[in-house]
A and B are shown apart, each in its own frame.
Chain A
């Protein structure tokens, strides 16, 4: 084993540890954000009343715009990190690379689309 190999292992271990911690930190954050979102759209408001006028009111305040932006980013980060492990468990080789590319591509599209949506809604008025 060369010095480069050992350093590579240390880097890889550091990356894995960062991913492990990020998965759990984003999870704790999402416990608040997502359940808060569900309560706001199903308990304090009936779901039938969450129409475009509800969104008008909601996205008129910076709090909900930031809430939704952070929630979207954290959810996608959490989903990519979690499903990264899932692909490691159930696939191998070229198929694993394919699923991971699809995962990153899909999550990237949803993230960009969602943030563009928030940006357009915030600047429209």
Chain B
């Protein structure tokens, strides 16, 4: 590992720390204000019942939307930094960029893709709820679609991202 790659690694570690720290802030605030993000037996029983009870999922979508949003912003700051190396020195850029092709970073990219897809699909759902007034049941149903798109899209993307290193 060269010095430039090590600096990039430290930057990536900072992004990870920011995501975890913000996740803690969101969860602690949720415990204080929303009755808690506890995965209790009562919650599971509610989610098992179709219909209005599953609207509870929207609160979790809200938490995930926030945490993924902060994560994407933190990664953007790092990413603009590493692409900036292109005008400073192409050699250093290529050196740092090799990290993107490594197996651990490819796994992180699959995580990034899930964050992107969930934040995008859920954001479009929120716009739709604003414009079309879906109601509680409709917007919860739309959330199933969001989760489906995120999971399926991530799996398809993972095939493209991880394919070259598995084969």
Distance (whole angstroms) from the CB of B55 to the closest CB of chain A: 21
Which residues from B are CB-within-8-Å of A50? Answer: 97, 100
Using C-beta atoms within 8 Å of the partner chain, give the interface range for chain B. 35 or more
Instruction: Verify if A72 is at the interface (C-beta below 8 Å from B).
Output: yes
Chain A residues whose CB sits within 8 angstroms of the CB of B90 once the complex forms: 52
Q: Does A10 contact B (CB under 8 A)?
A: no
Whether A86 pairs with B130 at a CB distance below 8 angstroms is no
Cβ-defined contact, B97 with A51, below 8 A: yes
Interface residues of B, Cβ cutoff 8 Å to A: 25-26, 29, 66, 69-70, 72-73, 76-77, 80-81, 83-84, 86-87, 90, 93-94, 97-98, 100-101, 106, 109, 113, 116-117, 120, 123-124, 126-127, 130, 157, 160-161, 164
Whether, in the assembled complex, A28 has its beta carbon less than 8 Å from a beta carbon of chain B, the answer is yes
Residues in A with CB closer than 8 Å to B123 are: 24, 27, 31
Does A55 count as interface, using CB distance less than 8 angstroms?
A: yes
Asked if B76 and A52 make an inter-chain contact with CB atoms under 8 angstroms apart, the answer reads no
Chain B residues lying within 8 Å of A51, measured Cβ to Cβ, are 93-94, 97
B116 and A75 contacting across the interface, CB-CB below 8 Å: no
Give the docked Cα–Cα distance between A117 and B82 (Å).
11
User: Could you list 21 examples of A-B contacts with CB < 8 Å?
Assistant: A31-B123, A34-B120, A38-B116, A42-B113, A43-B160, A47-B100, A47-B106, A47-B161, A48-B101, A51-B93, A52-B86, A52-B90, A75-B76, A79-B69, A79-B72, A106-B77, A110-B76, A113-B81, A117-B83, A117-B87, A124-B87
CA distance A6 to B71 in the complex (A): 39
Q: Which 7 A-B pairs have the closest CB atoms?
A: A48-B101, A79-B73, A52-B90, A120-B87, A114-B80, A27-B123, A43-B160
Bound-state Cα–Cα, A38 to B120, Å: 13
1/0 contact string of A18-62 vs chain B (CB within 8 Å): 000000100110110011001000110011101110010000000
A113 to B87 Cα, complex, angstroms: 11
Give the nearest-CB partner of A54 in chain B: B97
> Closest residue to A48 on the B side, CB-wise?
B101
Contact A86 B87 (CB under 8 A): no
A48 to B105, CA, bound (A): 11
